[in-house]
Chains A and B, each alone.
Chain A
């Protein structure tokens, strides 16, 4: 609130300053620079130069004559004097000018500042940040503390190893790459470090496994044949090279070897599903038009059945509704929406999202 008071004060001062010259009746004529004053100055200079002997008497005479000629010429084209400050016109003009100043300054300022400013956002200087107790510090603060420590002691390999995975989680893959490179240099290679370094490299090249990263994964896999991460990325690399079958086999083998509660199962399953979808899309694209329609309809049918069997899948319901809309089957889209909302009943936020999504596509729930 205080900030708005300061803004009001600043605006008020600005308006007051602009109105001040308008309030004065007769502006001081001091400092007028006109032809006559200029002529007199010029004569004084000529006299001074002549007096100190820098120009001869003849030159001084010539200069004086010239100055007089110029005064004559210029006073003939002199501008009109200033208008009478007290006339009716002048008063009206001043009122108009005051109105312009009074309206323009606050309106322009508020409109523009309202659009670009963020008056509610406080400052957070580095001193305030460092003074915050650890409990309040965010991950960024801790990282910054670590970075300061490492800038002073860049040979602290353990520090880099602590920081590197944090970088990756914070979405700073380039820094993670640098950190892992330092770890490898300072603490030596292990299969796990090689794989993490490779993972950071993949993240920094937007998910593409480049040849250097691939080499790292191969070395990591050789060092620890049981580790899943190198195998995963090597499979990704296979898919990148266009070896879809090989990639799928590699992923499936990985899935088979996975313990049932492994957190990375979902990622592998998603990859396999993606590969299957790609393969199917390729099949459909190469089929004749009618067969294509049939294949798509079949896929939609398949999805509908999968959802019936396993209804807790919001993404699946949205896909199903969209598919029906794309195929032009409005009634079925409505039915699917109603089914989906009912199926997601236990999760009201997801149900609401599905409804909102359907509304955007122009689908309204219909009970079958």
Chain B
């Protein structure tokens, strides 16, 4: 009965989201507060209904109710409780339900946050968000219903894909979906602004927190996915430029650009139309990601089920929202008033460059992802676009962007002083070069690109720290005064500094991988193998039965100078229900680096192993977490952002001043 209540609630959610779309929209046109008031109530109702549906399906998974087909196909009564729950979204139908749950959650949050947006804007945004719910609920109920029942239930389930039976599945998809779907609300706001024909700093202020929260979660989701791939796939890599990874990376890039342009808009009333365009683009890329992953165009661990009917449906949703969004943009954007002007060398100008670089980087990833697919579709040729392409296109753009971060932060609003900014950054540059050279010297050199990358990472990190220091430190002030001033800085300033420092930390970790060491060998027990500054010895191997799998474990000792400092287990697991095996890499963290042991096959020369020493590898993910914390700090600051402009010099006549500014129309 519980399952059917969930099913009914899901259908009720569809009916309510139709109401959420139609009535507030009508109310906003008629300026009728009562009708607009239906939006929040309906949005909360949709969320409650979807939550009931989600809860009912979770119950079916937890209790192994095999009258539900989805549970049969993806669960097993012997699975540990956590994986019985996470199995819910480890498959196509369940993951779409999670998607809709997050869509509804954001709708409900907007409904509850009353003081954030003007009434008409909020009503329209809720209506658009409702339309997104309608589309995905229809998709779920018609072609991928997780509540499909079986009259003759089997006694046991078919188990979940063993690669997904991991704590990563509990964390990665929810984070990623909150990120993806969070941008749906930003899209809803953009569409509402276009419908209402008004866009201003109030709009930017209303959108900012949603954009920040989506960005922070997307950052965490991508980082978590990367760490999961790193330890589960056993290749020692953490980023493969795989189309599915790119599908989540593209919205991140354009979302990062959006974050910055919203800032400019709130503070300076500029870049309005561009911001709207970015908002539409970011959500479009999220949808494109969903389509690529769900339609069966790509085959990977993420493509749970390939069904052309579903692919076509998602394609229709994609075309509707992307096409609709851009059509609305083309129709209404020319009516929007453009905002403030600024000089090319200014904080705004730097952020425009940031946006252009991010958008271009996003475009290179887009081409690298879709070109092989398009080529295969048209000519049947299979090509693979891998790291060499991205090294040649994406990496230089990213480096230019990193180089500009500290400079942009040092420039003033409206009119900047480049020479002044450079002089303020001399200390930061000097410090970062010294630190970088010291590291390179200790490592006895390294590839040029890696050295540059290392320097850039340190430069960005120190630049982030410097931003707080430069704003709180004054010549002659005592330490306590400096600390008090630093603590008194707006959390938004802290957020920006922390996020930038986090990016720097991540880049340091990435660059440090040039110094990682890989060893392939066959080992017998007791035979030591050198990897970087450590030695690894196979000490023991045994088998055991755990829950729903059997495991062959190889136990290693990590030695430093002859002394055992760590014990690490690497294993191969066999899952009889699916008749498949997985490899579990053995990872031992030493400081910020990791010793990584992946098992190969046992041969006549002993057990095949791949060993890695990865110095500072943890910085990659720690940096991402720091960046997300920066986003959260900025999110927590509900104050208005003010960007105080620098006045033009009084001596110049006004007309001349205008030409000297080489005005950039704030598009």
B33 at the interface (CB under 8 A from A): yes
With contacts A27-B37, A85-B34, A124-B153 taken as known, whether A59 is within 8 angstroms of B198 at the C-beta atoms is no
B656 at the interface (CB under 8 A from A): no
Q: A2-B1, A22-B38, A97-B38 are in contact. List 5 more A-B contacts (CB 8 A).
A: A81-B31, A82-B33, A97-B34, A121-B67, A127-B63
**What is the CA–CA distance of A63 and B115 in the complex, to the nearest angstrom?**
24
Contact call A14/B16, Cβ cutoff below 8 A: yes
Contact call B155/A121, Cβ cutoff below 8 A: no
With contacts A74-B200, A124-B65 taken as known, whether A63 is within 8 angstroms of B34 at the C-beta atoms is no
CB contacts under 8 Å to A, within B6-65, are 7-9, 11-12, 14-16, 18-19, 22-23, 26-27, 30-35, 37-38, 41-42, 44-45, 49, 60, 63-65
Residues of A within 8 A of B155 (CB): 129, 138, 140-141, 143-144
Residues of B within 8 A of A134 (CB): none
The closest CB in chain B to the CB of A118 belongs to B149
Contact call A80/B31, Cβ cutoff below 8 A: yes
The closest CB in chain A to the CB of B488 belongs to A52
B337 at the interface (CB under 8 A from A): yes
With contacts A18-B38, A58-B647, A112-B11 taken as known, whether A33 is within 8 angstroms of B30 at the C-beta atoms is no
**What is the CA–CA distance of A32 and B122 in the complex, to the nearest angstrom?**
11
**What is the CA–CA distance of A35 and B37 in the complex, to the nearest angstrom?**
21
**What is the CA–CA distance of A62 and B412 in the complex, to the nearest angstrom?**
13
Residues of A within 8 A of B644 (CB): 46, 49, 55, 59-60, 62-63
Contact call B26/A38, Cβ cutoff below 8 A: no
Contact call B35/A97, Cβ cutoff below 8 A: yes
B579 at the interface (CB under 8 A from A): yes
CB < 8 Å: which of A31, A54, A58, A90 contacts B115?
A31
Q: Considering residues A17, A83, A126, which has the most beta carbons from chain B within 10 angstroms of its beta carbon?
A: A126
Residues of B within 8 A of A7 (CB): 5, 8
Encode contact with B along A64-81: 1 for CB under 8 Å, 0 otherwise: 001000100110010111
A276 at the interface (CB under 8 A from B): no
Contact call A122/B1, Cβ cutoff below 8 A: yes
How many chain-B residues does the 8 Å CB contact rule pick out?
A: 83
A-B contact count (CB 8 A): 224
Encode contact with B along A326-337: 1 for CB under 8 Å, 0 otherwise: 000000000000
CB < 8 Å: which of B4, B114, B646 contacts A62?
B646
CB contacts under 8 Å to B, within A1-60, are 2-3, 6-7, 10-11, 14, 17-18, 20-22, 24, 27, 30-35, 38, 41-42, 45-46, 49, 52-55, 58-60
Residues of B within 8 A of A124 (CB): 65-67, 153
Contact call A90/B15, Cβ cutoff below 8 A: no
Q: Which residues of B contact A (CB under 8 A)?
A: 1-5, 7-9, 11-12, 14-16, 18-19, 22-23, 26-27, 30-35, 37-38, 41-42, 44-45, 49, 60, 63-67, 77-78, 114-120, 141, 145, 147, 149, 151, 153-156, 196, 198, 200-202, 205-206, 269, 337, 340, 471, 485, 488-489, 545, 548, 550, 576, 579, 639-640, 642-647
Contact call A123/B11, Cβ cutoff below 8 A: no
A147 at the interface (CB under 8 A from B): yes
CB < 8 Å: which of B42, B116, B149, B269 contacts A70?
B269
